[in-house]
Amino acid sequence: MIIRNQDKINSPDTIKQQFEALGYICSDAIATSVYLACHLQKPILVEGPPGVGKTELAKKTSDLLSAPLIRMQCYEGLDEAKALYEWKYGKQLLYTQLLKDQLGDVMRGAKGLDESVSRLHQFGDIFYSDEFLEPRPLLEALRTEDGAVLLIDEIDKADQEFEAFLLELLSDYQISIPELGTVKAKSKPLVLLTSNNTRELSDALKRRCLHLYIPFPSKAIEQKIITAQVPELNDKLKHQLVEFISELRDMSLKKVPAVSETIDWARALLLLNVDNLDHEWVKTTLNLLLKFQDDIEAVEPEIHNLLKVATKGS
Protein backbone atom coordinates (compact mmCIF):
# COMPACT_ATOMS: atom_id res chain seq x y z
CA MET A 1 0.00 0.00 0.00
CA ILE A 2 2.82 2.37 0.92
CA ILE A 3 4.90 1.59 -2.15
CA ARG A 4 2.12 2.16 -4.63
CA ASN A 5 1.31 5.53 -3.06
CA GLN A 6 4.85 6.92 -2.82
CA ASP A 7 4.02 9.91 -5.00
CA LYS A 8 1.16 10.90 -2.69
CA ILE A 9 3.09 10.58 0.58
CA ASN A 10 6.64 11.57 -0.29
CA SER A 11 6.62 14.53 2.13
CA PRO A 12 4.35 16.16 4.73
CA ASP A 13 3.77 19.07 2.33
CA THR A 14 2.61 16.69 -0.39
CA ILE A 15 0.21 15.03 2.03
CA LYS A 16 -1.12 18.41 3.12
CA GLN A 17 -1.73 19.39 -0.49
CA GLN A 18 -3.36 16.04 -1.25
CA PHE A 19 -5.67 16.43 1.75
CA GLU A 20 -6.61 19.95 0.64
CA ALA A 21 -7.49 18.60 -2.79
CA LEU A 22 -9.80 16.15 -1.02
CA GLY A 23 -11.43 19.00 0.94
CA TYR A 24 -9.67 18.26 4.25
CA ILE A 25 -7.77 21.27 5.55
CA CYS A 26 -5.16 20.25 8.06
CA SER A 27 -2.25 21.62 10.05
CA ASP A 28 1.42 20.79 9.52
CA ALA A 29 1.31 18.57 12.61
CA ILE A 30 -1.46 16.40 11.14
CA ALA A 31 0.28 16.04 7.76
CA THR A 32 3.58 15.19 9.46
CA SER A 33 1.94 12.55 11.65
CA VAL A 34 0.35 10.83 8.65
CA TYR A 35 3.68 10.98 6.80
CA LEU A 36 5.51 9.36 9.71
CA ALA A 37 2.80 6.76 10.27
CA CYS A 38 2.97 5.71 6.62
CA HIS A 39 6.74 5.44 6.49
CA LEU A 40 7.40 4.08 9.99
CA GLN A 41 4.34 1.83 9.74
CA LYS A 42 3.14 2.78 13.20
CA PRO A 43 -0.42 3.41 14.40
CA ILE A 44 -1.51 6.96 15.23
CA LEU A 45 -3.40 7.72 18.43
CA VAL A 46 -5.45 10.82 17.62
CA GLU A 47 -6.78 12.73 20.60
CA GLY A 48 -8.72 15.95 20.90
CA PRO A 49 -12.15 17.34 21.69
CA PRO A 50 -15.15 15.88 19.81
CA GLY A 51 -15.87 17.34 16.39
CA VAL A 52 -12.39 18.52 15.39
CA GLY A 53 -12.02 16.06 12.51
CA LYS A 54 -10.41 12.96 14.03
CA THR A 55 -12.68 10.46 12.30
CA GLU A 56 -12.65 12.53 9.13
CA LEU A 57 -8.85 12.25 9.10
CA ALA A 58 -9.17 8.46 8.81
CA LYS A 59 -11.72 8.77 6.00
CA LYS A 60 -9.56 11.19 4.02
CA THR A 61 -6.44 9.07 4.60
CA SER A 62 -8.37 6.15 3.12
CA ASP A 63 -9.21 8.30 0.09
CA LEU A 64 -5.62 9.52 -0.17
CA LEU A 65 -4.20 5.98 -0.17
CA SER A 66 -7.03 4.55 -2.28
CA ALA A 67 -7.39 1.89 0.40
CA PRO A 68 -10.60 0.59 1.96
CA LEU A 69 -11.60 2.11 5.28
CA ILE A 70 -12.42 -0.52 7.89
CA ARG A 71 -14.05 1.04 10.91
CA MET A 72 -14.55 -0.38 14.35
CA GLN A 73 -16.67 1.70 16.72
CA CYS A 74 -15.70 1.08 20.34
CA TYR A 75 -18.13 0.95 23.23
CA GLU A 76 -18.32 -0.41 26.75
CA GLY A 77 -18.54 -4.19 26.65
CA LEU A 78 -16.92 -4.57 23.22
CA ASP A 79 -15.21 -7.94 23.19
CA GLU A 80 -12.93 -10.06 21.08
CA ALA A 81 -15.77 -11.87 19.30
CA LYS A 82 -17.28 -8.64 17.95
CA ALA A 83 -13.93 -7.09 17.06
CA LEU A 84 -11.95 -10.02 15.71
CA TYR A 85 -14.00 -13.00 14.58
CA GLU A 86 -17.00 -15.18 15.29
CA TRP A 87 -17.75 -18.77 14.40
CA LYS A 88 -20.69 -19.39 12.08
CA TYR A 89 -22.57 -21.53 14.57
CA GLY A 90 -25.51 -22.18 12.25
CA LYS A 91 -23.28 -23.65 9.57
CA GLN A 92 -21.33 -25.61 12.14
CA LEU A 93 -24.60 -27.24 13.31
CA LEU A 94 -25.50 -28.16 9.73
CA TYR A 95 -22.04 -29.63 9.27
CA THR A 96 -22.53 -31.68 12.44
CA GLN A 97 -25.79 -33.03 11.02
CA LEU A 98 -24.11 -34.00 7.75
CA LEU A 99 -21.30 -35.66 9.67
CA LYS A 100 -23.82 -37.63 11.71
CA ASP A 101 -25.57 -38.84 8.55
CA GLN A 102 -22.30 -40.14 7.10
CA LEU A 103 -20.93 -41.57 10.29
CA GLY A 104 -22.69 -44.93 9.90
CA ASP A 105 -21.18 -45.52 6.44
CA VAL A 106 -17.70 -44.60 7.62
CA MET A 107 -17.81 -46.80 10.71
CA ARG A 108 -19.35 -49.81 8.98
CA GLY A 109 -17.08 -52.83 9.36
CA ALA A 110 -14.67 -51.11 11.80
CA LYS A 111 -13.18 -53.48 14.32
CA GLY A 112 -12.60 -52.07 17.76
CA LEU A 113 -12.32 -48.55 19.13
CA ASP A 114 -8.89 -47.83 17.69
CA GLU A 115 -10.02 -48.47 14.11
CA SER A 116 -13.18 -46.39 14.66
CA VAL A 117 -11.13 -43.46 15.91
CA SER A 118 -8.71 -43.87 13.01
CA ARG A 119 -11.55 -43.73 10.51
CA LEU A 120 -13.02 -40.71 12.30
CA HIS A 121 -9.75 -38.86 11.78
CA GLN A 122 -10.14 -39.42 8.04
CA PHE A 123 -12.71 -36.65 8.09
CA GLY A 124 -11.18 -33.30 7.37
CA ASP A 125 -10.92 -31.26 10.59
CA ILE A 126 -12.75 -28.24 9.29
CA PHE A 127 -15.10 -27.58 12.19
CA TYR A 128 -12.83 -24.78 13.41
CA SER A 129 -11.41 -23.57 10.11
CA ASP A 130 -11.77 -20.66 7.72
CA GLU A 131 -14.85 -22.38 6.29
CA PHE A 132 -16.79 -21.45 9.41
CA LEU A 133 -15.00 -18.23 10.38
CA GLU A 134 -16.78 -14.87 10.20
CA PRO A 135 -14.11 -12.12 10.18
CA ARG A 136 -14.81 -8.92 12.09
CA PRO A 137 -13.04 -5.57 11.53
CA LEU A 138 -9.63 -6.38 13.03
CA LEU A 139 -9.24 -9.67 11.19
CA GLU A 140 -10.64 -8.16 8.01
CA ALA A 141 -7.98 -5.42 8.15
CA LEU A 142 -5.18 -7.96 8.56
CA ARG A 143 -6.47 -10.06 5.68
CA THR A 144 -6.93 -7.29 3.14
CA GLU A 145 -4.53 -8.13 0.34
CA ASP A 146 -3.44 -4.61 -0.60
CA GLY A 147 -3.72 -3.02 2.83
CA ALA A 148 -6.43 -0.95 4.45
CA VAL A 149 -6.94 2.02 6.73
CA LEU A 150 -8.20 0.67 10.05
CA LEU A 151 -10.09 3.18 12.18
CA ILE A 152 -10.53 2.14 15.82
CA ASP A 153 -12.91 4.89 16.80
CA GLU A 154 -13.28 6.18 20.37
CA ILE A 155 -10.97 3.65 21.97
CA ASP A 156 -11.49 5.45 25.29
CA LYS A 157 -15.05 4.04 25.38
CA ALA A 158 -13.81 0.44 25.32
CA ASP A 159 -12.85 -1.44 28.49
CA GLN A 160 -9.24 -1.63 29.59
CA GLU A 161 -9.26 -5.40 28.90
CA PHE A 162 -10.06 -4.74 25.26
CA GLU A 163 -7.33 -2.10 25.10
CA ALA A 164 -4.86 -4.73 26.32
CA PHE A 165 -6.15 -7.18 23.71
CA LEU A 166 -5.19 -4.70 20.96
CA LEU A 167 -1.53 -4.51 21.94
CA GLU A 168 -0.41 -7.50 19.86
CA LEU A 169 -2.05 -6.09 16.76
CA LEU A 170 -0.64 -2.59 17.29
CA SER A 171 2.94 -3.74 17.81
CA ASP A 172 3.27 -6.79 15.53
CA TYR A 173 0.31 -6.49 13.15
CA GLN A 174 -0.82 -9.95 14.07
CA ILE A 175 -3.42 -11.59 16.27
CA SER A 176 -3.76 -15.02 17.82
CA ILE A 177 -6.79 -17.22 17.24
CA PRO A 178 -6.66 -20.21 19.60
CA GLU A 179 -8.10 -22.67 17.08
CA LEU A 180 -6.07 -21.43 14.09
CA GLY A 181 -2.86 -19.99 15.50
CA THR A 182 -1.27 -16.66 14.66
CA VAL A 183 -2.67 -14.59 11.81
CA LYS A 184 -0.22 -12.04 10.40
CA ALA A 185 -1.16 -9.08 8.24
CA LYS A 186 -0.94 -9.75 4.52
CA SER A 187 -0.20 -6.05 4.10
CA LYS A 188 0.18 -3.88 7.19
CA PRO A 189 -2.87 -1.64 7.58
CA LEU A 190 -2.51 2.01 8.52
CA VAL A 191 -4.17 2.15 11.94
CA LEU A 192 -5.73 5.27 13.45
CA LEU A 193 -7.16 5.18 16.95
CA THR A 194 -9.26 8.11 18.13
CA SER A 195 -9.97 9.19 21.69
CA ASN A 196 -12.08 11.97 23.18
CA ASN A 197 -10.16 11.69 26.46
CA THR A 198 -13.09 10.37 28.48
CA ARG A 199 -10.58 8.19 30.34
CA GLU A 200 -6.82 7.83 30.54
CA LEU A 201 -5.38 5.28 28.11
CA SER A 202 -2.64 2.90 29.16
CA ASP A 203 1.04 3.66 28.74
CA ALA A 204 1.43 0.37 26.84
CA LEU A 205 -1.00 1.47 24.16
CA LYS A 206 0.46 4.97 23.92
CA ARG A 207 3.96 3.55 23.59
CA ARG A 208 2.95 1.62 20.48
CA CYS A 209 1.48 4.66 18.72
CA LEU A 210 2.50 8.00 17.36
CA HIS A 211 0.58 10.63 19.28
CA LEU A 212 -1.38 13.38 17.58
CA TYR A 213 -3.48 15.95 19.40
CA ILE A 214 -5.94 17.89 17.24
CA PRO A 215 -7.10 21.05 19.01
CA PHE A 216 -9.75 23.46 17.76
CA PRO A 217 -8.31 25.01 14.61
CA SER A 218 -6.89 28.51 14.40
CA LYS A 219 -9.17 31.15 12.88
CA ALA A 220 -7.21 31.07 9.63
CA ILE A 221 -7.52 27.28 9.28
CA GLU A 222 -11.19 27.32 10.25
CA GLN A 223 -11.86 29.88 7.51
CA LYS A 224 -10.12 27.59 5.03
CA ILE A 225 -12.22 24.67 6.26
CA ILE A 226 -15.42 26.62 5.67
CA THR A 227 -14.18 27.69 2.25
CA ALA A 228 -13.56 24.04 1.38
CA GLN A 229 -16.85 22.77 2.78
CA VAL A 230 -19.20 25.69 2.00
CA PRO A 231 -17.55 27.51 -0.91
CA GLU A 232 -20.70 29.54 -1.68
CA LEU A 233 -20.51 31.49 1.62
CA ASN A 234 -19.31 35.08 1.16
CA ASP A 235 -16.02 36.15 2.75
CA LYS A 236 -17.59 38.71 5.09
CA LEU A 237 -20.03 36.24 6.62
CA LYS A 238 -17.30 33.62 6.81
CA HIS A 239 -15.12 36.02 8.80
CA GLN A 240 -17.98 36.99 11.12
CA LEU A 241 -18.95 33.38 11.70
CA VAL A 242 -15.43 32.28 12.63
CA GLU A 243 -14.92 35.26 14.95
CA PHE A 244 -18.26 34.64 16.67
CA ILE A 245 -17.49 30.97 17.27
CA SER A 246 -14.02 31.80 18.52
CA GLU A 247 -15.59 34.07 21.14
CA LEU A 248 -18.04 31.31 22.11
CA ARG A 249 -15.16 28.89 22.67
CA ASP A 250 -13.70 31.31 25.23
CA MET A 251 -16.89 31.21 27.28
CA SER A 252 -17.50 28.78 30.11
CA LEU A 253 -20.01 26.43 28.47
CA LYS A 254 -20.91 22.79 28.94
CA LYS A 255 -20.04 22.12 25.31
CA VAL A 256 -18.36 24.63 23.04
CA PRO A 257 -19.05 24.41 19.27
CA ALA A 258 -16.87 22.00 17.32
CA VAL A 259 -15.72 22.37 13.72
CA SER A 260 -18.56 20.14 12.54
CA GLU A 261 -21.02 22.58 14.13
CA THR A 262 -19.27 25.52 12.48
CA ILE A 263 -19.83 23.84 9.11
CA ASP A 264 -23.47 23.05 9.94
CA TRP A 265 -24.05 26.68 10.94
CA ALA A 266 -22.42 27.96 7.76
CA ARG A 267 -24.61 25.69 5.64
CA ALA A 268 -27.73 26.76 7.55
CA LEU A 269 -26.97 30.48 7.12
CA LEU A 270 -26.39 29.92 3.41
CA LEU A 271 -29.69 28.07 3.12
CA LEU A 272 -31.47 30.92 4.92
CA ASN A 273 -29.91 33.47 2.51
CA VAL A 274 -28.15 35.30 5.33
CA ASP A 275 -25.31 37.52 4.13
CA ASN A 276 -24.55 39.37 7.36
CA LEU A 277 -24.72 38.22 10.98
CA ASP A 278 -27.21 40.11 13.13
CA HIS A 279 -28.81 39.62 16.53
CA GLU A 280 -31.98 38.02 15.20
CA TRP A 281 -30.29 35.44 12.98
CA VAL A 282 -27.84 34.46 15.70
CA LYS A 283 -30.63 34.02 18.24
CA THR A 284 -32.74 32.01 15.77
CA THR A 285 -29.96 29.61 14.84
CA LEU A 286 -28.07 29.38 18.12
CA ASN A 287 -29.39 25.85 18.68
CA LEU A 288 -27.22 24.69 15.77
CA LEU A 289 -24.12 25.62 17.74
CA LEU A 290 -25.10 24.91 21.32
CA LYS A 291 -26.52 21.56 22.41
CA PHE A 292 -27.50 22.40 25.99
CA GLN A 293 -30.34 24.74 26.93
CA ASP A 294 -28.24 26.08 29.83
CA ASP A 295 -25.57 27.14 27.30
CA ILE A 296 -28.14 28.84 25.08
CA GLU A 297 -29.57 30.76 28.04
CA ALA A 298 -26.06 31.78 29.07
CA VAL A 299 -25.15 33.05 25.59
CA GLU A 300 -28.35 34.85 24.60
CA PRO A 301 -27.73 37.89 26.87
CA GLU A 302 -24.19 38.13 25.44
CA ILE A 303 -25.11 38.04 21.74
CA HIS A 304 -24.85 41.81 21.35
CA ASN A 305 -21.31 41.91 22.78
CA LEU A 306 -20.23 38.84 20.83
CA LEU A 307 -21.51 40.38 17.60
CA LYS A 308 -19.57 43.59 18.24
CA VAL A 309 -16.36 41.57 18.24
CA ALA A 310 -17.39 39.29 15.39
CA THR A 311 -18.42 42.07 13.01
CA LYS A 312 -15.55 44.42 13.86
CA GLY A 313 -13.71 45.37 10.70
CA SER A 314 -16.10 43.51 8.41
pLDDT tens digit string along 106-146?
Answer: 777 777 777 777 777 766 667 777 788 889 999 999 999 99
pTM: predicted TM-score of the whole model, two decimal places: 0.83
Q: Residue 178 has what DSSP assignment?
A: T
Q: Indicate whether 101 pLDDT > 80.
A: no
Burial readout 15-42 (b: 16 or more C-beta within 10 A, e: otherwise): bbebbeeeebbbeeebbbbbbebbeeeb
The rounded Cα 143 to chain-centroid distance in angstroms is 19
Start-to-end CA distance of the chain, whole Å, equals 47
Count the Cβ atoms, other than its own, within 10 Å of residue 275: 11
pLDDT on residue 61: 97
Mean pLDDT for 145-164 is: 94
Residue 15 has pLDDT above 70, yes or no: yes
Give me the pLDDT at residue 125, please. Answer: 67
Neighbouring C-alpha atoms within 13 Å toward the C-beta of 37: 29
Task: Say what the pLDDT of residue 119 is.
Answer: 72
Which pLDDT score, from 0 to 100, does residue 126 have?
A: 73
Rounded percentage of the chain residues whose pLDDT exceeds 90: 73
Q: What is the DSSP letter of 131?
A: G
